[in-house]
Amino acid sequence: MNIATTVAIPTRAELVARAAAMFERLRARADACEAGNKVPDETIADFQAAGFFKILQPKRFGGYEMDVEAFYDVQMKVAEGCMSSAWVLGVVAVHNWQLALFSPQAQDDVWADDATTLISSSYMPKAQVTRVEGGYRISGRWGFSSGVDHCQWAFLGGLVPDAESGVPDFVTFLVPRQDFIVHRCWNTIGLGGTGSHDVEVKDAFVPAYRTHRSKDGFAATNPGAESNPGPLYKLPFGQVFVRAVSSSSIGALQGALDYFIANGAKRKSNNTGASSTGDPDVQVLIAEVAAAIDEMKCVLFRNFAVLNEAARAGQQADIETRLRFRFQSAQIAGRCGELITRMYHLGGADGISRGNVIARTFCDIHTGRTHVANNPNAVGRNIGNFTLGGENTDNFI
């Protein structure tokens, strides 16, 4: 089904400008976002009105189908005002990209009546799966479903033995809201506003066409390829998703740096009365954070330029390149965490107040680092093994 009408597609610069214009609103809502364990409805409405959820959505459903660089650029700009809001935008909006990889019938199930319908997820392989005629019956409880309060469907992970080899394959199951229960249990020291609650399914039927195999995401042999043939949907799933959970740390660090600079000029030592602008440690830190942000953005955009070029040629980047790019994404939250920690220490006692921008960013970035996709250690071990002649063990690249 094709419901697209003629859509005026904004430029990447226009979308980033819309995100920048939300800064004051996002910063003003940050306390309520965190206290309510939920991105405010007004913020989701702002994102819808600005077209942010359309950036990676297929044109046949009224989406913009733009290069992923535009999406990450917008996400980082949103994170300057509120990392929780940017995290939810990143995770939920990237699902519009993944749904385009599913069969056309699954896409119609979600978007035929309302193309603004949103999807949450938990890719933890928790599903208890039974094969039945026409699909599967699944049960389980999954954690960390960011933004689920705003979503009518969910992507839920499970392991399904391959019909021929018997080797377990990771599968994403697409489940409607009436088939899962939300357990509101999110209570964290950081990213409180993401509302990443648990979801539970009790013996729900999932048609085979509402599933997506990781091996198809790895090889770009997705069921949605015929209906969505553009190069955007030929990118490896692992490369696209991991940046949705690392890029908000870059934007949040930029927002903290801007705040640090603006307030550093006014802050004086409680002991000496001296302005912090004369502190050489502060001066060097500002230079290092600014340079690191620039470098991390450059690497992000360079990597997708390489992946886009391959996709447009109907090819995939080689395994070594994909492993390196995956590792570079996994390093982001840790690097940002080290820099915001130094900023927090140099901010002095005024920065420890609950709700302070530096303190909140410190907690948010370090919480984001705990996401499995932001742990570089396992990725690094695999790269080292592969470089030394071993087999690649990661399809999430």
Question: What's the CATH fold of domain 12-117?
Answer: Butyryl-Coa Dehydrogenase, subunit A; domain 1 (1.10.540)
Convert the pLDDT of each residue in 123-146 to its tens digit: 999 999 999 999 999 999 999 999
pLDDT of residue 269: 59
pTM of the full predicted structure? 0.95
Convert the pLDDT of each residue in 271-330 to its tens digit: 555 667 788 999 999 999 999 999 999 999 999 999 999 999 999 999 999 999 999 999
Domain with CATH 2.40.110.10 in the chain: 119-212
Whether the pLDDT of residue 3 is over 60: the answer is no
pLDDT, mean of residues 199-203 = 98
- Whether the CB-CB separation of 221 and 340 falls below 8 Å is answered with no
The dihedral through the CA atoms of 301, 306, 307, 309 has a sign that is positive
Convert the pLDDT of each residue in 63-84 to its tens digit: 999 999 999 999 999 999 999 9
* % the chain with pLDDT above 70: 96
Q: Tell me, what DSSP letter sits at residue 395? A: -
Specify the CATH number of the domain 119-212: 2.40.110.10
Distance separating alpha carbons of residues 43 and 223, to the nearest angstrom: 33
Whether the pLDDT of residue 270 is over 60: the answer is no
User: Which residue bears the tokens 């005026």?
Assistant: 8
Domain with CATH 1.10.540.10 in the chain: 12-117
Instruction: Classify each residue of 1-36 as buried b or exposed e, where b means 16 or more C-beta atoms within 10 Å of its C-beta.
Output: eeeeeeeeebebeebbebbeebbebbeebbeebbee
Contacts of 280 (CB under 8 A, 6+ apart): none
The dihedral through the CA atoms of 250, 252, 253, 254 has a sign that is positive
245-387, which class in CATH? Answer: mainly alpha
